[in-house]
Amino acid sequence: MANETKGPIRFVLNGETREVAGLKPTTTLLDYLRGPERLTGTKEGCAEGDCGACTVLVAEPDGEGGLRRRSVNACIQFLPAMNGRSIETVEYLGRDGLTPLQTAMVEKHASQCGFCTPGFVVQLQAGWLTGALTDRQLVKDVISGNLCRCTGYGPIIDAGVELAALPVPDTSAADRALATRLESFEGEDVFSYEAAGGRWYAPTNVDDLADIYAENPDAVLVAGATDVGLWVTKQHRELPALIDVSHVRDLMMVEERADKIYFGAVVSHRQAREVLADIHPDLGEMMRRFAGYQIRNAGTIGGNIANGSPIGDLPPCLIALGSRLFLRKGEDIRAVALENFFIEYGKQDRAKGEFVAAIEVPRLTENQRFFAHKISKRFDSDISAVMAAFCLTFDGELVSEARLAFGGMAGVPKRASAAEAALLGRPFDAVAVEDAMAAMLQDFQPLTDMRASADYRLKTAQNLLKRFQLEQASGEHRRITGVDASTFGEVA
């Protein structure tokens, strides 16, 4: 076992140092804030990271003397994950009087019942401080994970736009001081915490992670807790041992090479988005619609794959690109094609004690064409009914390789092999697509559930292939979602 620092959990809350012991490791940050701290400005709206009422601002040292800030949903963050981090709540933002955002919110009548308001305030403030708030569209994207049932959003967006126009204050001196303070909390390579029958390990390097997981193969790995958090808040499961992988530096890297990109497993969706968008704009657009902003801040691409969900948005995209997964157990590392990782619903090719370490994503080549699109009831932060991602490789006019991957069509993210076969060796034209659409009936027998019927899933899966062909033929990208109204001609 590596060198270990045992709890208490040490963090900075609203500028004050806290040392917490005795609370169960699965105590959520929200319950801690609202309970022992009596900071009731942070609200519980759903306890599953879907409404944003519990948004708080978390900061950690960026390793270069400054801070890395992000907003997260306190409702699904476990308290020990805050070790070595700083948390700011809505009460703290206005400690010296109303902030410009708060003033704008009041003046623009951006609150009605007010219950969602603290979440919006923290979220917009976080977006502004991190430079994500630059224009109206980005304001809306930043609050995509915040629900308001009263206002219709207009005044909140307007307040955000007003904030976006203000220069971001230079906080570097204070940031450095806070970073130093947080770094002073750092102990040995592994932080561990035990209370009320629960154990928590937070290694900082991958070798320690491998060791700890090998010794505790029944422990639950947790990174952003955007899924595991719900096991506790919704399924009320007892999790006696957790391994927090979010501090493992080796798993945070993004390595961009000429032909492929390597992502460490705990790279957040927000970090991954820009890199993926660079591969193809459809990926950037998909990531813009992936969950809400706070979830993208916390959730990791390794988590989205490893949890094996049939409706994760990322796996079909990565499968279409021909990605590989690197899995590690103890000292052993193996690579597996992502599509082979998903065996059947609820079952992945992952041994006990084995974890996802990295993902290798090939870039597109000159002779490849890519398409990705998500179908859901709501544009933002919805789970897809169908997620389609296509990658075609051309030899001249003819399709030499077809990778048509889908989420929502089967118990696992799955390629449409019959449809792929129908495209091979042919020009990518309307006739070939008709055949591939027909062949898709052999590929999938999707379910009917609350997101969509089997018929609709099949029909849109087919039609998205048609859309890909139409876009390729016309050179025009005319989708309704994701682009502003002006794309559709002047609205007089």
Partner 1 sequence: MDETRIQDRGGAGEPGVVELDERPPAHEERIKGGVASPTAHDSGRKHVTGLARYADDEPELPGTLQVYIAMSERAHAKIVAMDLSKVRQAPGVVVVLTADDIPGQNDYSPVFGDDPIFPPTSGPEAIVQYVGQPIFAVAAETLGAARQAAKLAVVEYEDKPAAITFEAALAAAGEEGHDLLAPHEMRIGDVDAALGEAPHRVMGRVEVGGQDHFYLEGQIAYSIPLEDRDVLVRSSTQHPSEVQHNVAKMLGVPDHAVTVELRRMGGGFGGKESQPALFAAVTALAAVKTGRPAKCRLDRDDDMVMTGKRHEVRIDYAVGYQEDGRIAAGDFSHLVRCGYSSDLSGAIADRAMFHADNAYRLPAARILSRRLKTHTVSNTAFRGFGGPQGMVGIERVMDRIAFEAGLDPLDVRKANFYPSFDSGEEPGVTPYHMEVTDSIIAELVDELEASSDYRCRREAVRAFNAKSPILKKGLALTPVKFGISFTTSHLNQAGALVHVYKDGSVHLNHGGTEMGQGLFTKVAQVVAEEFQIDLDKVKITATTTAKVPNTSATAASSGSDLNGMAAKAAAATIKDRLIDYAAERYHVPREQVVFEANRVRIGNAEKRFSDLVGEAYLARVSLSSTGFYATPGVNYDRETASGRPFYYFAYGAACSEVVIDTLTGEYKLLRADILHDVGKSLNPAIDMGQIEGGFIQGMGWLTMEELWWDDKGRLKTHAPSTYKIPTANDRPDDLRIRIWEKGENRSETVYRSKAVGEPPFMLAISVFSALTDAVIAAGDGRAFPNLDAPATPERVLRAVEDVRGN
Window 192-231: residues binding partner 1 (CB under 8 A): none
Q: Which of 16, 170, 258, 450 binds partner 1 (CB under 8 A)?
A: 450
Nearer to partner 1, 53 or 275 (CB): 53
Number of residues that bind partner 1 (CB under 8 A): 91
Q: Contact between 40 and partner 1 (CB under 8 A)?
A: yes
Binding test (CB under 8 A) with partner 1, winner from 63, 168, 188, 234: 234
Residue with smaller CB distance to partner 1, 83 or 111: 111
Pinpoint the alpha helices (H) of 444-488. 454-474
Minimum distance of partner 1 from residue 114's CB (angstroms):
3
Is 484:137 a contact under the CB 8 Å cutoff? Answer: yes
| Element housing 250 (H / E) | none
Q: What are 359's strand-pairing partners?
A: 263, 325
Residue 48 makes contact with partner 1 by CB under 8 A:
yes
Cis peptide bond prior to 240, omega within 30° of 0: no
Strand boundaries in 179-273, DSSP class E: 190-195, 198-203, 220-222, 241-244, 254-256, 260-264
Q: Which residues pair with 86 in a beta bridge?
A: 12, 59
- H or E segment at 417? helix 417-423
Beta bridge partners of 18: 11
Residue 142, SS3?
helix
Interaction with partner 1 in 252-271: which residues (CB under 8 A)? none
Q: Report how far residue 382's alpha carbon sits from residue 376's, in angstroms, rounded to the nearest whole number.
A: 6
Q: Please, what is the minimum distance in Å from the beta carbon of residue 489 to partner 1?
A: 5
User: 118 to 177, contacts with partner 1 by CB under 8 A?
Assistant: 118, 121, 136, 139-141, 143-144, 146-157
Which residues face 251 on adjacent strands? Answer: none
Residue closer to partner 1 by CB (options 211, 313) is 313
**DSSP one-letter string for 45-69:** S-SSSSS-TTEEEEEEE-SSSSEEE
Span of 47-55, 256-264, 317-325, 336-344 interacting with partner 1 by CB under 8 A: 47-55
Query: Which of 196, 253 has the CB closer to partner 1?
Result: 196
Question: Cβ 332 to partner 1, closest distance in Å?
Answer: 36
Site for partner 1 in 82-101 (CB under 8 A): 89-91, 93-94, 98, 101
Site for partner 1 in 51-70 (CB under 8 A): 51, 53
> Tokens representing 25?
């490791």
> Is residue 485 part of the contact set for partner 1 (CB under 8 A)?
yes
Interface residue with partner 1, options 208, 211, 282, 380 (CB under 8 A): 380
Q: Does 477 bind partner 1 (CB under 8 A)?
A: no
